[in-house]
Amino acid sequence: MPELPEVETIKNELLPHLVGHRVSGVTLFWEGIVRQPTAEEFCFRLIGQEITGVARRGKYLIFSLTSGEKLIFHLRMTGSLLLKPASAEPEKFIRAIVHLDKETKLYFRDPRKLGVMWLVEDTNSIVGKLGPEPLEADFTPQVLAQRLTNRIAPVKALLCDQTLIAGVGNMYADEALFTARIHPLRSGKGLSQDEVEGLHNAIQQVLRTAIGNKGASVDTYFRPDGTLGTAHFEFKVAHRLSGKFCPVCGTLIERIAVRNRGTYFCPRCQPEKARFY
Ligand SMILES: [Zn+2]
């Protein structure tokens, strides 16, 4: 699933091609991709509007429009947004096309049909419950500590909770916990102050590195020009197939399920009991 670095890359790479351009038409091959309003009203209200901005919040992509409305995307498991020339041939798994002026169109490709679009006046009706942005200045170690205090859930599950921190999912939670040497099943409240500070640094570090590498193409993630990101080549534990060894200590990487999410970690670098240095 695309997480913060993937959606940030898509935002950065779409922005220069979309801002200032007008929506000349919309084609829906799968009406279920429109969550709000009705498919008919969605097309009616969107056509003719100019895109004035492209932003990201958590894993959501937000287009600002001249009317003040927002066109919001969530790519879920297998969605991608691809920029194509207007003359491009139809492809498999395209659920919607936003036609733009200047001979460009935007494909919403989604093999599993889980992606969603909304056209709304109030952005907060969709993203209002998200936690802080982990790369913003107001996300401090103290903020993370407050959010983990009194939480008995496994820290892996807490990191993936979008109301706790926005944009971190399965891959980057595993990477951040490995970097911070914290076992994924430890409880939020059981972490020491030093561990929370280390985890805070690790979250920012793994996200920044992955943005620099244009996201991780482990599943069906593509950049808008159809090329792949390279962030997964630097993964230490996430999405490791069984039989891989820890790049730090050489121990076999283990896979466990944490709240139904496949979770990879090094049992030696990330011991189950807290370490005291
Ligand atoms: Zn190790």
DSSP per-residue letters across 202-239: HHHHHHHHHHHTT-B-SSS---TTSPPPBGGGG-SSTT
Query: Per the residue annotation, which of 22, 45, 76, 261 is the catalytic one?
Result: 261
Å from CA of 178 to ligand 1 middle:
8
Q: What's residue 40's pLDDT?
A: 97
Based on the residue annotation, tell me whether 2 is a catalytic residue of this protein. yes
Supply the pTM of this predicted model.
0.96
Residue where the block lists tokens 């959501």: 60
**Portion of the chain with pLDDT greater than 90, in percent:** 93
pLDDT at 239: 84
Residue 139, both tokens? 């996300």
Contacts of residue 227, Cβ cutoff 8 Å, sequence gap at least 6: none
More confident call, 90 vs 146: 146
pLDDT band at 218 (very low <50, low <70, confident <90, very high): confident
Task: Give 166-203 pLDDT, tens digit per residue.
Answer: 999 999 999 999 999 999 999 999 999 999 999 999 99
Residues with CB under 5 A from ligand 1 (ion): 246, 248-249, 251, 266, 268-269
pLDDT in tens, 24-47: 999 999 999 999 999 999 999 999
Of 2, 5, 134, 184, the catalytic one is 2
The mean pLDDT value for 127-145 works out to 98
Mean pLDDT of all residues in 114-124: 97
Q: Count Cβ atoms within 10 A of the Cβ of residue 103 and give its class: 0-12 exposed, 13-18 middle, 19 or more buried.
A: exposed
User: Which candidate in 59, 70, 105, 181 is catalytic?
Assistant: 59
| Catalytic status, residue 184 | no
Q: Is the pLDDT of residue 240 over 80?
A: no
> In a 3-state reduction of DSSP, which class is residue 164?
coil
Q: How far is the CA of 231 from the centre of ligand 1 (A)?
A: 20
- For 77, other C-beta atoms within 10 Å of its C-beta total 14
- State the CB neighbour count (10 A cutoff) for residue 269: 21
Residue 274: predicted pLDDT: 64
Residue 268 CA to ligand 1 centre (angstroms): 5
Q: How far is the CA of 155 from the centre of ligand 1 (A)?
A: 19
pLDDT value, residue 277: 42
Residue type for position 114: L
59 in catalytic set: yes
- Mean pLDDT for the chain? 95
- Report CA(12)–ligand 1 centroid distance (Å): 34
Quote the CA–CA distance of 66 and 77 in Å, as a whole number.
Answer: 30
How remote is the CA of residue 22 from the centroid of ligand 1, in Å? 51
pLDDT-derived band at 242 (thresholds 50, 70, 90) equals low
Identify the pLDDT of residue 275: 52
The per-residue pLDDT for range 247-272, each reduced to its tens digit, is 999 999 999 999 999 999 999 999 98
Among the listed ranges 11-20, 225-234, 239-248, which one has the minimum average pLDDT value?
Answer: 239-248
pLDDT > 70 in the chain, percent: 98
Rounded distance, CA 234 to CA 147, Å?
28
